[in-house]
Structure 1
Amino acid sequence: PFMIAFKVNFGFLFALIIGIAQLIPVVGATLGIGLVTLLILFQDAWLALNIFVIAVVLQQIKDNVLTPKLLGDLMGVNPLWQFIALLIGGRVAGFLGILLAIPLAATLKTVLESEPVEDT
């Protein structure tokens, strides 16, 4: 919507580029926003700065507010524990550890909270 509000030429395409770039873990958002800002820079420098600032603010809100909340609701892991799991996962196994940290934390939480099975 902000691309339309600022009357950016090819705004939908640029928004699509940013969205597709989000699929690349860790650096996707930076690459997408950087590429779109560079392309808009050819139209107007002031417009490029405005779009850059808005895109970065929206990205930060998504990454730091919405994603932890949604993951917490979906996987049942508190955002604080998600952060701790990411730190531990990165320290123990690097990039792969970061990718697997939250699913492993959710699995561990489920196992620890489950009732013991009684033998009959």
Structure 2
Amino acid sequence: MIEHTGVDREKLEQIVHLDGDVLKMSLPGIKLGKNNAEKTRAVAHILTIVRSFGMEESETSVDVVRTEVSRLKCYDSANFSSQLSKLSGFIITGSGSNRRIRAKAAGIAAFPALVDNLLGVK
């Protein structure tokens, strides 16, 4: 991960963990942003990058993000799709239950700053 994202293992272990074979956020939802939209985009950003480089999955299902934001109590069913559509540096493909998120270069480049921000690193 560090060679692709610039984020070391210690920081990653503070923000995500595996529960069986399911990647989950380690931080509580309240620490992920000021509102549900920010929280949803942070979860999508982190899960997509970590799954891409740490688990060698080229795309992340939107359903994976939905499940995690629901678990974190920041799921807004009425606005979920529009919140994800404003995720900068990512491409969302497919339709319905086949929608998937893939990181572009800008999303990958923004990952270290997001991690540092979430961990309170200046």
Largest Rg, 1 or 2: 1
Q: Which has the higher contact order (CA 8 A, sep 6+)?
A: 2
State the TM-score, normalized to the length of structure 2. 0.31
Higher helix share: 1
Normalising to structure 1: TM-score of the pair? 0.31
